[in-house]
Structure 1
């Protein structure tokens, strides 16, 4: 469901304030659903009762919404049980968490389990996600917690330990040890984060890798892999990076198919090691090997270097121990690097920091994080194929300040990685949401425009081609690509492929050397031209018409006077103003308007009412009409087709022409507040919007006595201001 302006933007302001207070860091994670693990556990221990999580209850709603929903036969015999009801002596972790603790159940989340298996290779990372101070004995209250990175923040997710079972067996993820439960509880916490278990069905290993680390992922297609892929993989594992791979399937991913070699198409694997060994028959050369794991906990490669293959006989005992070789149907196996490249089609590396993996040095990269939103009719402009709206997408100014220390192939420039991630689409699946097809383009800013933070307009994109862009628009949660460009200023434009698609995103920029990236936000300001007074004796036909109507409604005076000298005592109400305006405005056939509403006229009186009477005298009215005529000219300019409305994307320029410079958040609010279902704005709404802007700017400036751009209001002052405007 779309956010209301007040709801979304209040939430955004609160999140920004929390970040300033340190919320969302590793040391101070956000409490998911406001639940505090320590407080909840202490309450349970004091009450001597086990925790029951009302925000993720042991019901069908937590299982799913379609295949695991109310109408599904799959859920009828599922019983939620605590570990102590499933087995004797349950343990959180038995003998240390390892990759063999993860065996896939009846949920299509091999992508998640492959990432968990990778996570176990780095204890520091693992115990960041899986806090260790948890058990089924000391301090047990039926409550556990896990921590995930979520769109720029670390969040702490609390769960109870009721797990779905069938015939006393775990339905979903389980451990090879029947009495070990950390992996099942981790899966439950991740399901809660996304709304249900079913929301985890189908995905990309990189998604979970990033949620466990806050890292950024780079993809390599095997057919396009760099020559130094083995070296890249080796260095990545040495640095704690998580790595997954898969074999593309011609049929949809849900149809995982086992090949004659034992490998499974359309299935996610973990890469858990890369090593070199020296078989006895290879006196002067080494064989490169890759170790992989099938999250099923079974079904392995049966070719060269598989568990029981003849190749192992050529290795010494020392070599075998170094490789930790063992013959067991545990889903883990070795294969040669050459066979790995031949059989797998894609590899994904999640770098904890996107170091230049080809280099021998470990570089500390700069990371910039920006949150954004595409709003239908305002900032959801689609890709470059839609030039009329592309320019309205959010824009981010990137400044590359320093060149790389060790340029490759003597090619100077700044190396950086752009990662565009769409938010919340998995959680919103039950409401029919699918992943958008997303991408981004990068444009160089001309030197004469450096330092100018204004939003780039339509003409800029019509006459300038992109300097770099993502390889393709694709329907993944995140699109990532590495670039090298000369130092300078650039504009990154993230977008969906089609316009009018509404959603939130996070844009991250990682660079080897210093960079700054920030959303281009126009400075919020307004021009307030004073209407020129009419000269004595100069009355237009329209002025005469208004004087006649005004006198007719407000009351006769004995001696007709010029418009600007009519008695200040002659005043009209909002309803009378509506009659005055509409008797004249309806003569403008090109506006195709039904006239002003009473609410619009009340806002106009609030704008021009200098003496607080709730009425307008003729002088105040004349100032108002001069403004309306000015705004009417702007409306006519953008109403070129004489439809009586202007497009919501054009509204940005119309507001700017009226003398108001706003930022993207305010344009979003204007669209949601004033546009109709077709994303068009009629004349009445257009004038109402500008009246409101004028009034609010004027009120702010009245309170901002010292001109520092901030004001302090009491509750009474705030309500008086907003209620009357």
Structure 2
């Protein structure tokens, strides 16, 4: 129940709260696709001494396609299925880390997907969520691999065998420029399995791929993955109707002025821009200072931002959802999800152009309660994003179906219906009331999303196809910008899962992985806000920034020597004397005087908290000293006052001979605690 939400409340029972990636259906605990358990299946194969053959996605013509790649198509004539061990003498899952050049397009029109995969490699954390690191062609190899995709509100773990389509001795579809590397080809196969076949991947929007790799939505403001496309052919080798990856941006000093450049990659792995700032162009000769240019026929090229703006028609942006942690700032978007269907004759009313059937569409109520905290944007209201996603349309291509043209409208709920859990307004309402807001367009893409800012109140979201009487399944996600009462925290077990997923993919770092006990220590040390044994996003971001390890492994040994360790401490902001450094070496280093990643991270966490506690204690001591200083001043003032009175009395009445000045002063001027507090 979302009744406790500050910013957005849903009044439908079909909602699912996804503000935090934890629990069933999260990336850390993904749903088993088709109920296939990767670990169990691999163990069975190894026990039986057999290589895995996937009965749910067999190496057969049906896995290739249904029309252009159908059984009778000449394009699939001579295609065989081979495992990487049959294609390369020494296959590897990933060689030297996943990079943009690992993705080269084959005989399938899925450039949109490959552009998304190329952008994915730019973010190691997001990459590790999609491509699990617990697999290789090493000792545990059993012909089985798995990948994780976001599908309509939940993450699914997809198992495949490693038989890949080959023609004339070469991989038929995506392949790596490094001939013995296979992660990208296996990822494409897993995505084809989710969508029914390889041919179902032909044609699409880069945003769709971004979304399935991140759970993101294109309208949010945060760190993002970028893609671009062009609708017209040029003479300078930019390809019509083709998707590219935007992989970088930089400013260079060119002839005494600053020039903005963007870096773009063609998934083909070749065919590059030949204009200004291309490989080998004269502009690079006049760059002063650092120069990002590398001359290679790898499909990646630079061009000026002005040329980019003139030549490209579309830029697609996918922003990461609230469970993403690699952004420096803590995000406060919360997410609610609704599932629904359009069925001919009952709930498929079409758009507002069909006034007598529009009311039949599913209707969902949301409540906006608190206005945004940022008045600087000049707008008053509650910010939120609505995203409408069509489900499983690629799978239906075999039956001749494709994406519907879809969109949605938003209406203000009449006051008499406020607070009702089941609201379905009738035809007369829609005939007599104008919509309050609507999607930017009706379009035949998988997702339509738009950002809004509306006054607090209750609103009705009505999703529809453009034409009436069309069957389909959909989900709606509503992103609220206000903080909700979700914990946005991770436990020690979740921290262990996340950290091990990331470090295990780093073959250049030697570690046995993070133990649960180490993660408990890290959580206990960092959990400053609530003391509930969990890390908040802010605390986790601090921890994450402290795990910079590889930079100081100057000899590339995968571990850190004690001299490297001292430099690393300094880079992390700790200046230590020799005695403290000797204690740390004795406590955390191995007998060979090296420190591995797990111990290094734990050591940094302890130092962080020791310094924090020290500074807190210093502040407390300074506060006490300040109070004592005030007490001392008051005491001196009282003594001076008594002396003044005494001096006055000496001139008026002689002092009794039995009392000395000193004894009188001491018995009269001693400060009490009550006096000092006045």
Q: TM-score band, normalised by the shorter chain? A: 0.5 to 0.7
CA distance in 2, matches of 1:132, 1:514: 33
Unaligned runs of 5+ in 2: 1-12, 486-678
CA distance in 2, matches of 1:344, 1:20: 35
Q: Is the 8 A contact 2:22 2:28 kept in 1?
A: no
Question: For 1:272-292, what per-residue CA distance to the aligned partner results, in whole angstroms no more than 9, with x for missing partners?
Answer: 11222222431xxx2211111
Aligned to 1:248: 231
Q: Is the 8 A contact 1:400 1:514 kept in 2?
A: no
Q: 1:269 to 1:17 in 2, by over 3 A?
A: closer
Pairing 1:411-450 to 2, within 5 Å after superposition = 411-450=379-418
Q: Secondary structure at the match of 1:100?
A: helix
Q: Is the 8 A contact 1:425 1:435 kept in 2?
A: yes
Question: For 1:213-254, what per-residue CA distance to the aligned partner results, in whole angstroms no more than 9, with x for missing partners?
Answer: 0000249xxxxxxxxxxxx8xxx5xx2x211111124xxxxx
Question: For 1:124-175, what per-residue CA distance to the aligned partner results, in whole angstroms no more than 9, with x for missing partners?
Answer: 0101100111111220000000000001110000001100001211010000
Q: Secondary structure at the match of 1:74?
A: helix
Pairing 1:350-365 to 2, within 5 Å after superposition = 350-353=318-321, 363-365=331-333
Q: Secondary structure at the match of 2:34?
A: helix
> Is 1:273–2:248 an aligned residue pair?
yes
CA distance in 2, matches of 1:419, 1:270: 23
Aligned to 1:295: 267
1:308 to 280, 303, 317: 280
Aligned to 2:454: 485
Q: 1:509 to 1:118 in 2, by over 3 A?
A: same
Q: Secondary structure at the match of 2:357?
A: helix
Q: 1:17 to 1:124 in 2, by over 3 A?
A: closer
> Is 1:131–2:149 an aligned residue pair?
no
Pairing 1:641-680 to 2, within 5 Å after superposition = none
Report the Cα offset of residue 17 of structure 1.
14
CA distance in 1, matches of 2:301, 2:374: 37
Larger relative CO (CA 8 A, sep 6+): 1 or 2? Answer: 2
Q: 1:360 to 1:53 in 2, by over 3 A?
A: closer
Report the Cα offset of residue 345 of structure 1.
0.5
Q: 1:511 to 1:23 in 2, by over 3 A?
A: same
CA distance in 2, matches of 1:174, 1:20: 32
Aligned to 2:471: 502
CA distance in 2, matches of 1:515, 1:395: 23
> Is 1:260–2:235 an aligned residue pair?
yes
Q: Is the 8 A contact 2:91 2:182 kept in 1?
A: yes
Q: Secondary structure at the match of 1:84?
A: helix
Question: For 1:461-519, what per-residue CA distance to the aligned partner results, in whole angstroms no more than 9, with x for missing partners?
Answer: 11110011112211111111111111111111000111111110010111211589xxx
Report the Cα offset of residue 361 of structure 1.
6.4
Report the Cα offset of residue 15 of structure 1.
12
Pairing 1:318-333 to 2, within 5 Å after superposition = 318-320=289-291, 323=292, 325-333=293-301
Q: 1:217 to 1:433 in 2, by over 3 A?
A: same
- Aligned alpha-carbon RMSD (Å): 2.5
CA distance in 1, matches of 2:118, 2:375: 35
Pairing 1:384-395 to 2, within 5 Å after superposition = 384-395=352-363
> Is 1:379–2:352 an aligned residue pair?
no
Aligned to 1:342: 310
Q: Secondary structure at the match of 1:387?
A: coil
Aligned to 1:643: none
Pairing 1:15-26 to 2, within 5 Å after superposition = 22-26=23-27
Alignment size in residue pairs: 468
CA distance in 2, matches of 1:102, 1:20: 28
Report the Cα offset of residue 265 of structure 1.
1.3
Report the Cα offset of residue 204 of structure 1.
0.7
| Segments ≥4 residues shifted beyond 6 Å | 13-21
1:452 to 416, 420, 427: 420
Q: Secondary structure at the match of 2:188?
A: helix
Q: Secondary structure at the match of 1:217?
A: coil
Q: 1:443 to 1:25 in 2, by over 3 A?
A: same
Pairing 1:318-717 to 2, within 5 Å after superposition = 318-320=289-291, 323=292, 325-353=293-321, 363-407=331-375, 409-453=377-421, 454-513=423-482
Q: 1:408 to 1:494 in 2, by over 3 A?
A: farther
Q: Is the 8 A contact 1:401 1:513 kept in 2?
A: no
Q: Is the 8 A contact 2:85 2:91 kept in 1?
A: yes
Q: 1:190 to 1:59 in 2, by over 3 A?
A: same
CA distance in 1, matches of 2:377, 2:140: 59
> Is 1:39–2:7 an aligned residue pair?
no
Q: Is the 8 A contact 2:341 2:472 kept in 1?
A: yes
The TM-score, its normalising length taken from structure 1, stands at 0.62
CA distance in 1, matches of 2:443, 2:256: 47
Q: Secondary structure at the match of 2:461?
A: strand
Question: For 1:394-417, what per-residue CA distance to the aligned partner results, in whole angstroms no more than 9, with x for missing partners?
Answer: 111111111122245422112211
Q: Is the 8 A contact 1:398 1:515 kept in 2?
A: no
Report the Cα offset of residue 460 of structure 1.
1.2
Q: Is the 8 A contact 1:29 1:156 kept in 2?
A: yes
Question: For 1:426-462, what per-residue CA distance to the aligned partner results, in whole angstroms no more than 9, with x for missing partners?
Answer: 0110011111110000111233432133211111111
Question: For 1:310-342, what per-residue CA distance to the aligned partner results, in whole angstroms no more than 9, with x for missing partners?
Answer: 2211223x511xx3x200010111111111111
The TM-score, its normalising length taken from structure 2, stands at 0.66
Q: Is the 8 A contact 1:401 1:514 kept in 2?
A: no
CA distance in 2, matches of 1:20, 1:480: 21
> Is 1:119–2:88 an aligned residue pair?
no
